[in-house]
Amino acid sequence: MTHTTQLIGITGNIATGKSVVRRMLANCGALGIDADLLAHRSMYPGGAAYQAVIETFGEHILTEGGQISRPQLAQIVFQHPDQLSLLEALVHPAVIQATLARIHHTDQPLAAVEAVKLLEAGMDAICTAIWVSHASEAVQMERLLHTRNMSEPDARARMAQQPSHTAHLAQADVIIDTEGSFESTWQQVKWALHDTIQIEIEAPLPVEPGWHWQPAGKLPKERLAAFWKAHSGDSADALFENLGMRMVLPILKGETLKALVLWDSWNFTATLQRVITADRANLPAGVVLKAFEAQALTQQCEILLVSPVTACEHNLDMSGFQQYLEHSTYPAWQQACGKVTEDSSPPWIKVLAQPFEPDATVSTV
């Protein structure tokens, strides 16, 4: 890392929009880090907390393949608060160390870590600023029932286990109200970045001669919305929803916006989902995948995934990719591939890096 990376800590209770804020910050050029996924990684076989968790909770939480069963572990800790505290004491230090390591190895001037217990775990000590996502309890309940399909008793139990939201708000440098539209949330995120975090504006990032890409947050929202409405077939509202749900990658030729690439960034894997273009015939075959790879690397993604249907639909040149059905023993990679596999047809895969965690063991077949 050649410069100082500022870290925004994002917290807030369940269903208040933390993940939306994190993804919007990633779309503004930040390295996005989900602390919950770092916790999962720490409990993968060979992970920093794996052995300690087994010794604390017993080998009966293991699957036949030797992985810690998250459903079994969750059943224990969410029914017994003292057991949850034990688990957090084992996992939180590993998450903080993993966050610091990732920040040390990024070239991005800004990173954003999302953690529901950011303050309780002491992660605020490593943050430049604390952002809190906010929504009323009524809105939280609505989202849990209708977006996450929870039963009302389960939703109330999960809400009751959350830390004090009042305490979160009292320590916030920025409060993002997510009860309005996605466009409203996007505008709040951009305003807050401008007002509270001073970072250098990146120049356009080249893909090949004449072509470059930029984070979506570097372009005026009116310009993005106009292109989206003209070429996606969806309303402008859908653009801002996508900015909160996945990565939206603008590709430009000179000063002209030529394409928007939508991809899913999950657990440091990158899955191409859709390409929206003004003129597909004049979009060079290699530009999309080169820009996709370049942005995925800024998010420390380890593999690129493209479904055969997506590759065919957009006439993508898959040179450098290979097709595997079961390509790795690493849980994050297996799960990401499972989401992409269609009708038993394996996705196209390109490995960019081995898992960041030093104790991880990966084999490919």
Domain count, the chain: 2
Tell me, yes or no, whether 30 and 176 share the same domain: yes
pLDDT band at 62 (very low <50, low <70, confident <90, very high): very high
- The DSSP bridge pattern shows strands 6-11 and 129-134 to be parallel
Q: Which domain holds residue 93?
A: 6-196
Query: 225-250 pLDDT, tens per residue?
Result: 999 999 999 999 999 999 999 999 99
Measured between alpha carbons, how far is 242 from 240 in angstroms, rounded to an integer? 5
Tokens of 153: 């008793």
Select from 130, 161, 196 the last residue of a domain: 196
Asked if the structure places residue 121 within a domain, the reply is: yes
The domain that holds 219 is classified in CATH as 3.40.630.30
Tell me, yes or no, whether 190 and 211 share the same domain: no
Tell me, yes or no, whether 129 and 221 share the same domain: no
The domain that holds 158 is classified in CATH as 3.40.50.300
Q: Tell me: pLDDT of 4 over 90.
A: no
What pLDDT does 160 receive? 85
Query: 21-48 pLDDT, tens per residue?
Result: 999 999 999 999 999 999 999 999 999 9
Tell me, yes or no, whether 144 and 30 share the same domain: yes
Select from 167, 196, 225 the last residue of a domain: 196
Tell me, yes or no, whether 161 and 19 share the same domain: yes
What pLDDT does 186 receive? 98
